[in-house]
A and B are shown apart, each in its own frame.
Chain A
């Protein structure tokens, strides 16, 4: 380890900052999320308080509010407000599990799917209506209602009922309403597609990479799950183009679950996504929920190996971008929006405090309500810690539930050992449900957390890229922070 030799640190020059050695430089950040990458000499001068007023280094430091007495307080307040704007509103993401039944069997299934004959896990119409009533009580003017399962296409009549009831009810409530559906697509047909496109439901699916890996991990009886999913991805994208939507903006989103077998296939994974016309790839590690808990030894891996996989895959994606291919990595885009964009994209799992309860609610098929999807997943595993009520519980009681309060506190990085001193604190977030599952405590111990290892490792990579100073790479990373237009999917904003 290389150490910067600092003579006598100045107690008066710098405003509070955090620092970390990254890619041969020293990264400094402050509370409002400004950052600078300094050389060793620059960092030494900064720490000792010797940069002369008017010098290039002093100006750089002062512009980003690192110098005491030269700070722009209005700017600091505005930036903090931009980063914490989400605190003024309640949950905007409402995950509705319309059934636990699923026709695919995935080795890592986080949702603890039920067999196709388990019709008792279908949501009833009455529960569906009370669920929508509850959703529309949120204090957030923007509402995303996400159909999940199981496999939501198994219970398509309930999806239709919820959608139509929500649209009707919302005429009086006036929320900015959006619908999304997470589906394996294997039960899609032309009638369902027409209905979903006509009703502006954004469709997301799972692609685990090349066909042989996807089909090995996601079993569809007698058929290829990969073939079914990729057929419908292409078909849906065609339909979007047919109604005049820009294919660069409107296309099926796909999610990856990274298992041990995915790690050596980073290039095949990226190529698969690019080949399908996807513009984004989310390199998500496997979570310890659902069947993944049982199949852990088969699908899990040390996070050090995951980070090698991540670096290889994103390096390759950057090279493709240089050649004109549009493909971004979702983790990177989330962090870069905070790092380069100065805003919080409100990704609920990497937020401070996290979105459990105050940012999202998960509605189970039986009308029980959870702080988040992960909390519901644990419930299906027999741990109901994150159950906060049901569709008959008053909205204010749900939001004031002691578990919601506990999670808001436990995920506040200002109270979290390690995070409190971490250079990445302005951009990061913790998941108390993950902590609870893996370490038996909501607060968790970040030095032993696999989630922390992933977040730190990815941010190390991104700052290395930024610090390397290749203008083409920095320009690509900057483009990844662009918020994609999705106005077509907003119910009150018809084309």
Chain B
């Protein structure tokens, strides 16, 4: 299927915003596959995930600023090909897990060889918990009070995640709405700390989303999008390794 023939109820382009949105059937494409495909694209696009009922919504904004319909449809066509590949790979990796683990373990053990006594001596076998002075391991619910979304926020759900979503001090700010079922709160926290020198943030949590209001003196839109990519990347890494490093 070429991008030009992707069904209109699945793909929606917003040329003015340089964004194309794809609705993905979560029954057909497991979240691991969506994460994997999204990760492949975060070097060339700003990628944002959200839920829409039974579907996942993937927003792709090419970093090169592609602003025409054909270019956006090419991007989403590439993404759907990658998504299909990731879905299949997810399945066969499960099917062939024993072989994959055996071959990889043999290859790495063969290449690394046995540890030296010095390496064994230096290995940390302790199970003590790590210090968490920045509160990264603390849940968002603990740190930020949950509140009901306003009617205005509910009606804003379909807008691009980086669109101005409110005003602060008479100035529009960008609100990022990270779906709690798709993004790791610790990953968002870690991303906010990395981007703290570039922007100011206000955080809250509602029924479905971790909400981050972004305000920056310069390049606010780029900062918000980079922050979203960073949080997505860490979330995916966390899903693979079982925690934000």
Mark each residue of chain A from 397 to 417: 1 if its CB lies under 8 Å from any CB of chain B, else 0.
001100011001100101111
Interface size on A, as a range, is: 20 to 34
CB within 8 Å of A: which B100-121 residues:
100, 103-104, 106-108, 110-113, 115-116, 119
A291 beta carbon closer than 8 Å to chain B: no
- A417 lies within 8 A of B89 (CB): yes
CB <8 Å contact, A420 and B82? no
- 0 or 1 for each of B109-147: is its CB under 8 Å from A? (1 = yes): 011110110010000000000000000000000000000
Contact between A396 and B113 (Cβ–Cβ < 8 Å)? Answer: yes
Nearest-neighbor residue (CB-CB) of B99 within chain A: A414
Residues of B contacting A416 with CB < 8 Å? 89, 92
B68 surroundings in chain A (CB, below 8 A): none
Judged by DSSP, the binding face of B is helix
Closest B residue to A440 by beta carbon equals B40
Query: Per a CB cutoff under 8 Å, which of A358, A414, A445 touches B108?
Result: A358
Q: Is B93 touching A415 in the complex (CB atoms < 8 A)?
A: yes
B157 on the A face (CB < 8 A) = no
Are A408 and B112 touching (Cβ within 8 A)?
Answer: no
Shortest beta-carbon distance, B76 to chain A, in Å?
A: 15
* Majority secondary structure of chain A interface residues (helix, strand, loop or mixed): loop
| Residues 460-488 of chain A, each 1 if its beta carbon lies under 8 Å from chain B, else 0 | 00000000000000000000000000000
**B residues in contact with A139, CB < 8 Å:** 110-113
B129 to chain A, nearest CB (A): 24
User: Taking the complex as formed, is B2 at the interface, i.e. its CB lies under 8 A from any CB of chain A?
Assistant: no
The answer to whether A87 and B85 touch across the interface, beta carbons within 8 angstroms, is no
Q: Would you call B103 and A414 a contact (CB within 8 A)?
A: yes
CB distance B92 to A90 under 8 Å? Answer: no
Contact yes or no, A441 B82, CB < 8 A: yes
Determine how close the nearest CB of chain B comes to the CB of A291; give it in whole angstroms. 23
User: In whole angstroms, how far apart are the Cα atoms of A445 and B89 in the complex?
Assistant: 10
Q: Which residue of A lies closest to B118 (CB)?
A: A394
Per the bound structure, the CA–CA distance linking A87 and B111 in Å amounts to: 8
CB–CB A91/B111 < 8 A: yes
Q: Assuming the A-B contacts A396-B112, A396-B115, A420-B96, are A412 and B103 also in contact, with contact meaning beta carbons closer than 8 angstroms in the complex?
A: yes
A selection of 25 A-B contacts at a CB cut-off of 8 Å is A84-B106, A87-B107, A87-B110, A89-B111, A90-B110, A90-B111, A90-B113, A91-B111, A139-B110, A139-B112, A396-B112, A396-B115, A399-B113, A404-B108, A405-B104, A408-B107, A412-B104, A414-B96, A414-B103, A415-B96, A417-B92, A420-B96, A441-B82, A443-B85, A443-B89
Residues of B within 8 A of A (CB): 40-41, 43-44, 81-82, 85, 88-89, 92-93, 96, 99-100, 103-104, 106-108, 110-113, 115-116, 119
Interface residues of A (CB under 8 A from B): 84, 87-91, 139, 353, 357-358, 394-396, 399-400, 404-405, 408-409, 412, 414-417, 420, 440-441, 443, 445, 448
